[in-house]
Amino acid sequence: MPLTFGIIGAGRVGSNFARLVTQHGHIAVIANSRGPESLAGLVAELGPLARAATPAEAADAADFGVLAIPFLAVRDLPAAQLAGTPTIDATTYYAGRDGDIPELQAGRITAGEYLQALLPGVPLVRALTHVTAAELPRDGRPHGSADRRAFALTGEFAGAKARVAELFDELGYDTLDAGPLSESWRYDPFTPASGAAVGTDGLRTLLAQAEHTTR
């Protein structure tokens, strides 16, 4: 049975995740800050399993939410519509783009923890922050393949993490539960895991090599 993904953000991560899920027969409801009409070209490319919507409409339709927006826009997310929906958090914080958030810059809290505090009713699973977006639609492999790539997951909601792990397995990827959101910095940009196409064992090694100075 097809699942519906409410994808908020239509940049590199959001658009390529939409390509991935529609390849597997699922529905992508895509939103951005510029309005549904701006997504006509992407929706036409993706075909009948995709449609454009507002962020609130995308969240309301979703079996899974996907957050793929610049971090500076996280306060505008439709929290009420996402409440209770397992949601993949693929946002990344860059101070030069997203502004001064002292607790993030000082490393006192991770971006995942910060967003979870803003969305307490949303079961967030932080994922895809160490992945080159263009690889998503083409790197999946059948379950059990020796060269299958793994994605790290962190979150506070065990049930949501389990559902996201099952989802990625269907989409062609293994996963590694890397713990709570306080550990999510280990696969942020500029860490050893960033961009690494490795399996579960290799990913575990790279996460262990991460140092706070690499953030």
* Distance in angstroms (rounded) separating the CA atoms of residues 143 and 211: 32
Per residue in 14-38, pLDDT (tens digit) is 999 999 999 999 999 999 999 999 9
Per residue in 56-115, pLDDT (tens digit) is 999 999 999 999 999 999 999 999 999 999 999 999 999 889 988 998 888 889 999 999
Q: Which of 171, 164, 129, 134 is nearest to 149 (CA)?
A: 171
pLDDT at 214 over 60: no
* Distance in angstroms (rounded) separating the CA atoms of residues 10 and 50: 12
Per residue in 127-156, pLDDT (tens digit) is 999 999 999 999 999 999 999 999 999 999
* Per-residue pLDDT, 212: 77
* Distance in angstroms (rounded) separating the CA atoms of residues 150 and 193: 11
pLDDT at 215 over 60: no
Exposure class string for 150-181: b at 16+ Cβ within 10 A, else e: bbbbbbbbeebbbbbbebbeebbbbbbbbbbb
* Distance in angstroms (rounded) separating the CA atoms of residues 215 and 212: 6
* Confidence (pTM): 0.95
Residue 111, class by beta-carbon neighbours within 10 Å (0-12 exposed, 13-18 middle, 19+ buried)? Answer: buried
Both tokens of 145, joined, read 């393949």
Q: Which of 154, 151, 82 is nearest to 118 (CA)?
A: 82
Per residue in 167-203, pLDDT (tens digit) is 999 999 999 999 999 999 999 999 999 999 999 999 9
pLDDT at 213 over 60: no
Q: Tell me the backbone φ, ψ of residue 25, rounded to 5 degrees.
A: 85, 15
Task: Indicate the helix (H) or strand (E) that contains 28.
Answer: strand 27-31
